[in-house]
Structure 1
């Protein structure tokens, strides 16, 4: 039987100091249009795949919600979580409609707590900034200058400021003295918008770097809106051997300033056995380092992204976060920011060399589906014997799909196929997503073996439909976030206005959850 909570009760739960997992189970585009401030996106289409990682303790107080419309996505998600073993799951009665009717605000966009925090940091610390015009003038004059892009390598590759070098924010403290060995050269940190520019610049300032340090105002979007040219396909980045521990003492002092606890392996082992608290063991190093070997039971949470997009890694408000590295520099710096965000963050003593080993989380196994090869599928499609449904992202479908394939997504799958009498075949980038989605159908479908990669490898044709599915159907895609990178200046302006307009939308409880020092500017 589904349990429900009212909007006022949920609001009180979000601020009572106890752990809670607040899960928006709509698809990404719907979530990004309007959601609760502390919500973690866990769309129904990915629920079983991502829930064990985002919400590892099955006894945690959990609330799921949707828009409150007739589709019942929240109820379906609650039932699936219960089937996975989650024991305290409730549904927000009336969903987002009831939340606004109770007088509470919904927020657009993604990564809300982190984005809002970045704006608070700029206000609290008075982070120095430089405009696109000022930066362009310095570059044109040939002045000594280092521009560092604080985003991950994949985002840097999409577009970058000319002359910039990629150094994700979580790596700055560990690599800055290898990249800027002197104490005089000005340093400019940029991202695509504002948050990581501000956070990266303030990180170096908080560490006591004597260099002049600036955040590039509005990042690559500000550069583009000022009619300067961006580069695309950039690969300039920090070197694999560019890390050093020159700032280890400064990182330790920064952690002490913000009361970041140091915990030993035995303490973390005991926390892992605590059935009343959730634990996330976070490896904040680079993807390459993590792939080469990490601590058993750890998840990869690159430091810069853990600060920027924490809801992609941690789905429990109030959980214990234990960070580690191999150098004693990165984890303390990242933890110092997480403490200011209001997280219960600690640093593991001796990091990668602590000997800590936690039991890996057991992943639920999806139901097996019969598979069909690409060439057999092509023949059966030609004869009209099967119905083919493409469950890949809507933008991937637009770019190229099998002729005759219908696009759908798990919340709508049963509805889209209600009149279909032929056997159904599913295509998915991740087979597990199709396997779990199959639970929505009265009869088990088949799965294209090897997915779209196998279809392409067989030399079979694809069809592009740039306008299909229609925008309104693409509930997995948030247009205003992504269009700003595709030459749409109005979308870029709207996005920057959204970022700078976040602070006035907070209520007193949401604002007080952040722990920035009142006198931050005096200590900067």
Structure 2
């Protein structure tokens, strides 16, 4: 273990500040502990990567092997083991946080609990900044009983929707909302966006509002809030919001273009992407944000499947190297633009691959199949959200605790001078 280089907490803090200043550096921060320990307390931008997952995941999560990597733990020795494994795999700039996360806290740094914290914190700040309106579960139940003109859309994955859903809801993962929802609504329709808790409801609703739809609200606290209100969820449904017709797609393109103009979303062509991917001096993540089914049917071999809403929801899982470039692709640029707009506001250098790449590839450059192994490994590391253990009272307490935790994240943000978001 003597070969492992170390970095002090104060030096790591200064490197964080350099990232905020946009000094052109990169940093991949890895927490080497097991998930149950990681979720109790960790650095905000740390990505959980225990030793048992390094071989399967690191190439996709930290693609440039010369990128600076700092590994941390809580004094149990896991960081040194992961750092040595990374060195064996060819990573050339790997160090360990001296004193671990306790040294970080002693130097005045914040420690956070939970999973996907950067994205969940951002969602809470989005709601506060934009004033994203919401409706409570009891209010929505009343609206449904009245027969009000509603479109309830669930911004989670199809798998999550199938497990539990709000009555009358339809599945529309967050990255697809702006493309598809326009065809659902008439002049008096109110769109209600829900997820399991808070973040994807807020982000989905605000995406639609930023794209020009006004009668859009988030379901406060999602399916958890529905259960806590004593209301019954439905199970086993698979109703989806369909692809838009030509008019709906054209409206979505116009809306996405307006968002791109406002947030500074830029496009690149295939040649420029190839050049960036070949650049050994800077990391470029290339993410295909189409649905898992579309990705599996055919994608560019360099791409990682990262459905748009899930990418924004879990940046710490997909985008480990801060300071990297991020290029997003889909077939018409709508979902890629919306996802890029949020990543830019989170501080990422995000771009969109010019639409038309799928047709120009002509099928010859595409490969089929998903990234099921990596996704399964990612899911296995995340503790399940507090849905339905056998004891109903324990479940209710866990759900309320989860919601209270997320709502409290902005209080930590206010104390943390190493975090900055820029809204557009």
Instruction: Answer whether TM exceeds 0.5 for this pair.
Output: yes
What does 1:409-424 correspond to in 2, within 5 Å? Answer: none
**CA distance in structure 2 between the partners assigned to 1:85 and 1:511 by the alignment:** 30
**CA distance in structure 2 between the partners assigned to 1:78 and 1:358 by the alignment:** 36
Aligned residues: 401
SS in 1 for 2:26: coil
Match of 2:225 among 208, 222, 225: 222
Give the structure 1 partner of residue 57 of structure 2. Answer: 50
Give the structure 2 partner of residue 185 of structure 1. Answer: 189
Give the structure 2 partner of residue 233 of structure 1. Answer: 236
Give the structure 2 partner of residue 502 of structure 1. Answer: 409
Give the structure 2 partner of residue 327 of structure 1. Answer: 332
1:64 and 2:71 matched:
yes
**CA distance in structure 2 between the partners assigned to 1:347 and 1:477 by the alignment:** 29
What does 1:354-369 correspond to in 2, within 5 Å? Answer: 355=360
SS in 1 for 2:327: strand
Match of 1:14 among 16, 20, 25: 16
Shift of 1:240: 6.0
**CA distance in structure 2 between the partners assigned to 1:269 and 1:355 by the alignment:** 15
* Higher Rg: 1
Any idea what the Cα deviations from partners look like across 1:7-49, whole Å, max 9, x if unmatched? 1111111221211000111111111111100111112111111
SS in 2 for 1:16: helix
Match of 2:104 among 99, 106, 111: 99
Shift of the 477–59 alpha-carbon distance from structure 1 to 2, 3 Å rule, reads closer
Any idea what the Cα deviations from partners look like across 1:140-167, whole Å, max 9, x if unmatched? 1111111101000111122111111111
Shift of the 262–39 alpha-carbon distance from structure 1 to 2, 3 Å rule, reads same
Match of 1:4 among 3, 6, 9: 6
**CA distance in structure 1 between the partners assigned to 2:346 and 2:51 by the alignment:** 28
Shift of 1:181: 4.0
**More helix, by proportion:** 2
Give the structure 2 partner of residue 84 of structure 1. Answer: 89
TM-score (norm 1): 0.73
Q: Structure 1, unaligned stretches of length 5 or more? A: 361-428, 435-474, 518-524
Q: Structure 2, unaligned stretches of length 5 or more? A: 20-24
Shift of the 49–351 alpha-carbon distance from structure 1 to 2, 3 Å rule, reads farther
Shift of 1:234: 2.3
Whether the 8 Å contact between 2:165 and 2:233 is mirrored in structure 1 is yes
Give the structure 2 partner of residue 370 of structure 1. Answer: none
Shift of 1:483: 2.7
What does 1:23-38 correspond to in 2, within 5 Å? Answer: 23-38=30-45
**CA distance in structure 2 between the partners assigned to 1:107 and 1:327 by the alignment:** 37
Shift of 1:125: 0.3
SS in 2 for 1:196: helix
What does 1:119-518 correspond to in 2, within 5 Å? Answer: 119-178=124-183, 180-210=184-214, 212-239=215-242, 244-353=249-358, 355=360, 478=383, 482-486=385-389, 487=392, 488-506=395-413, 507-512=415-420, 514-517=421-424
SS in 2 for 1:215: strand
Shift of the 201–4 alpha-carbon distance from structure 1 to 2, 3 Å rule, reads same
Shift of 1:123: 0.6
SS in 2 for 1:347: strand
Shift of the 359–143 alpha-carbon distance from structure 1 to 2, 3 Å rule, reads closer
Whether the 8 Å contact between 1:150 and 1:196 is mirrored in structure 2 is yes
Whether the 8 Å contact between 1:338 and 1:345 is mirrored in structure 2 is yes
Q: What is the CA RMSD across the aligned residues, in angstroms?
A: 2.4
Whether the 8 Å contact between 1:294 and 1:352 is mirrored in structure 2 is no
TM-score (norm 2): 0.89
Shift of 1:236: 1.6
